[in-house]
Structure 1
Amino acid sequence: MNIEYLHYFLDVAKTKSITRAAKLNFISPQGMSRAMNELEKELGCQLLIRYSNKLTLSAIGEELVPKAADIIESYAGMLEFAAAKSQLQQVGSHSIQLECQNVAMLAFLTKEAKDYIFESSEIHFRESQNSQIRHDLLASNANGLSDACPIIGLVCFFNQDRNSNVGGIDDLEKKGYQYRPYLKTYDRVMVNAQSSLAGKDALTDDDIVSKHLVSTNTYLYSLLSKRFGREAIVLSSSDFSLRKRMVECDSAVSFLPAIASLTMAEETGFVLRDMEHSYEVEIGFIGMEADLESDCFTGLMQILNDFYRAHADEGYYTLCD
């Protein structure tokens, strides 16, 4: 089971609103509704009763709220235990846990940055989705765990106006966290290197839907389904290797931020092509100020700054102030 869906369910139960819960979790209302439908299908029972102007929990949904909370608490306890054990191994050092959104990990972190993260004894890495990062930060804050192994989130937002992200960011900032946007880029289309689409500089929407679409299972799914139609998307998954294989077999196209042209230059099975009408991607960090200023994290930022300042004139992104 996707534990994110349990977080979503608890937020829907608390707010009694798909829209408000979606804002807290950096996804669209359509994405939240789809997640609740999938959770109901997996559990085999109705959790929500949807009226034209309101939403309530079913009787089973009400009973499952404390059970879902117990599962999440047990999961948080496991993370707390691991963080405490990790801290014992790092006596005298300021360790951080870097939780990284999937696409940011793939396209944003350079090889040098990844080497630094995985070789560092002070950075503990975990790949997560934006909503999981938010929940882990809030849980860390509530349980006073930030002193033991503080969390910094590396997040990626597919949204030009960021309206769907404001609720989640505000929620964290009220708890003392800072959100620091790092750069803004745009998405490109990932196509088979030998396909006819690879010969074009920019792809129209008709070009793009001439193939099946595969997407991440984040806000991007909602953005793409609204633009190209849900029927055009044959797969929505966080598994990049699966999406990559489908592109390299020329059975689909997918999407990556333009910065991947710089950070994934060694790839040969696919190429990235511009869209005639692209959309914006924003990448940034969320954490406590002291953790964002820690030596291990500023060491990572120095590597990223050296790289992105050197390539700033290539047109793939703009650095945020």
Structure 2
Amino acid sequence: EGRRRLSEVIASNAEQSAEALIEFVTSHLNANDEIGHDVALLIDAYAQELRDSPIGEQLAHTHVLALGQSGQFPEAFTSLSNLRSRHKETGEDPLLSAILDILIRDAADHEFLKYAFLHIASAPEILSVETRIHAAERLVALGFYEQGEYLLSINPTYPKNTRTSLLKAEISIELSRPHEALAHLFGETSKRAQFLRARAKSSLGDFSQAYSIYSNIGDEMNSQRTAWLANNWGALIQDEVPIFGAAARVSQVALDTSTELDGILERSALAISESQGARQAIEDLLNTNPSLIIDN
């Protein structure tokens, strides 16, 4: 209802239309609702017309945000660049942080990376702490661990909370620093924290402990894989576990090596049967998905 009334004021081309247009865009930004291209064009028109008035600067800022919210990122950054050429920012740049937050949230991977390395990596110190954390999370999700770590290292006073601790732990694991990851995870008890702790333990070769953690959080695939890699794998893997269970059973079979002639035919037949079972278990292991048995 509020947006409908704002739309009526905007359409009336009255004195309050420009203010209503700003409120209209702000409501869409707060709700993360899509904005049409025509809205951005209308704001630009008002911004040009009222550029020398007190509201002109606010309209110019709103135009940049409307372009981003409507998915027009090249135009948004061009508009921002033009705006900054007229008004230099000193210190943190809230408008740049705001448009980058939209980019991080909504842009396709290729578009995000293009502007991330252009605007985020070039001067991260002018971005808000929250924007840097958002950017680091998406960079890490795309496999850019060193770049994500760099953003988190700009300001050593980042808030120490579960979100940043888990992010730093994941980066440490991916950069082959499992001990550091465990330090970041100290005191964290969430399922995600447990998963990362198990990954760190696995990287350190502590497969038994990793198996225990994976089992506790119900991650069957990783628990089976780490059990298989543990020194005491035969004791950890249950008989009913697919693929691995058969191998565990074979490893625990004690063949009768008696040299007595009595019963030699029965023992030979049993040994042949066991040999066939062992061969089948090995073939099943070799034919299974390597990700189940190879530790990354």
* Pair in the same fold by TM > 0.5: no
- Structure having the higher helix fraction is 2
When normalised by structure 2's length, the TM-score is 0.21
Bigger Cα Rg: 2
- Structure showing the higher strand proportion among its residues: 1
